[in-house]
Amino acid sequence: MFPQRTDRHRAAPLVAGLLMLSVWLQAGATDEEPDITVEQTIRHPETEVNGWTIALDNDLFGPANTDRDYSGGFGLSINGARTAKYWWSLDRLLKHLDAPLFAGNKSWQGVRPDHSLQTGVLIFTPQDLKATSVIEDDRPYASLMFLTSMRDYVADDLRHSRYSGLTLGVLGLQATADIQRAVHKVMGNVEPRGYQNQISEGGELTARYLTGGSTLRSQRLAFGNKLVETKTTWETSVGYLTEASYAVSTRFGAINSPWWTFAPERVDYLAQPTPLAPASADGNGEFYVWAGAKLRLRAYNAFLQGQFRDSVHTLSGSDLNHVIGEAWLGITNRLSNGTQLAYVMRYQTAEVSGGLARRSPVWGEVTISHSF
């Protein structure tokens, strides 16, 4: 459909830098390095909800002030063992999916997982929101309302973690169009008029299973009592997003939380639910900056290619870039009572290889969370 131009050359410096940093960390980090923040190990009661997170994404939060591509997302997460027992939780099914992957590894046998549950919405739009007809050389409208159950496991050595997640959702609901129109009306922005052309218009069930793992690579004091902490993360998933990825992330500053609660790389447009650090026992808060990079090898994206139902406008696999680079820069302030506010700006290389849709989106995310 589009001229076969590639955007991979834009990702090359990012990918090369990520790989070199990973090699350096592998060579420089040793098992004898002292653990500093991991002493604050999470041990929540098995019957309680112990925290919540609200995440709000919007490309208007980024420096370009655009309103297209990944236009916005909203997620509400709750943490705690009780979330796995709700009748509408997906944890029972997730447990059975995890079993064959974890059963053969003694490192994870007997490790009690941290549970979390998230519900939210994702919205994608082309550049011209006024057009009612299909824009052939731009991305289609797409949306998802979803429910996700997550499990996080921390190994006994406190240097490795694993996680898994199961999402069930509905593509193409009219409700998502109504939400965006209402928000645009309040903000005085252009009303999106082409939702009748969205992927799976009228609704279609979809699902995704993911699994991944993180390793603490480096954790050392620098500039007085400030910490520098670096980790790497791999992830694979099948479903409406089918891909594999590898990421490097670093934070620097006044850090007072376990490293596995810092997970900026665990993002699929919207941030995944992750464990929350408990309220500080020593009365100290946190203030740190963070950055990272990620390489995705993506085989399938339902938000661009559609699913089983016929859609008015979809793209084919040949229209897409299957190697995607990402980078981010953020800041976090966490009070001693467990309330945390964070902002991050994210950059992604183009998902589409040609036409108007060949854009590299930038968006911002604001999250507020509280742990008990």
Segment 113-124, tens digit of pLDDT: 899 999 999 999
Calculate the CA dihedral of residues 195, 196, 197, 199 and round it to 10 degrees: 80
Residue 88: count other Cβ atoms within 10 Å of its Cβ.
9
Tell me, what's the pLDDT at 237? Answer: 98
Stretch 290-317: mean pLDDT, rounded? Answer: 97
Q: Is the pLDDT of residue 21 over 70?
A: no
Q: Is the pLDDT of residue 203 over 80?
A: yes
Q: Is the pLDDT of residue 354 over 60?
A: yes
Tell me which of 1-15, 58-72, 95-109, 270-284 is least confident: 1-15
Q: Is the pLDDT of residue 279 over 60?
A: yes
Spatial CA neighbour of 304 closest among 354, 244, 264: 354
47 burial (CB, 10 Å; 0-12 / 13-18 / 19+) is exposed
Stretch 315-324: mean pLDDT, rounded? Answer: 97
Dist CA 192 CA 180 (whole Å) = 8
Tell me, what's the pLDDT at 2? Answer: 40
Tell me, what's the pLDDT at 301? Answer: 98
Q: Which domains does the chain have, with CATH numbers?
A: 8-371 (2.40.128.140)
Tell me, what's the pLDDT at 347? Answer: 95
112 vs 23, higher pLDDT: 112
pLDDT band at 104 (very low <50, low <70, confident <90, very high): low
Segment 39-71, tens digit of pLDDT: 444 555 565 778 999 999 987 777 766 778 998
pLDDT band at 144 (very low <50, low <70, confident <90, very high): very high
Segment 215-266, tens digit of pLDDT: 999 999 988 889 999 999 999 999 999 999 999 999 999 999 999 999 999 9
Buried b / exposed e along 200-232 (16+ C-beta atoms within 10 A): bbeebebebbbbbbbbbbebeeeeeeebbbbbb
Stretch 313-338: mean pLDDT, rounded? Answer: 96
Record the tokens describing residue 217, joined without a space. 């690579």
Q: Is the pLDDT of residue 296 over 90?
A: yes
Overall pTM surpassing 0.85 (yes/no): yes
Stretch 317-346: mean pLDDT, rounded? Answer: 96
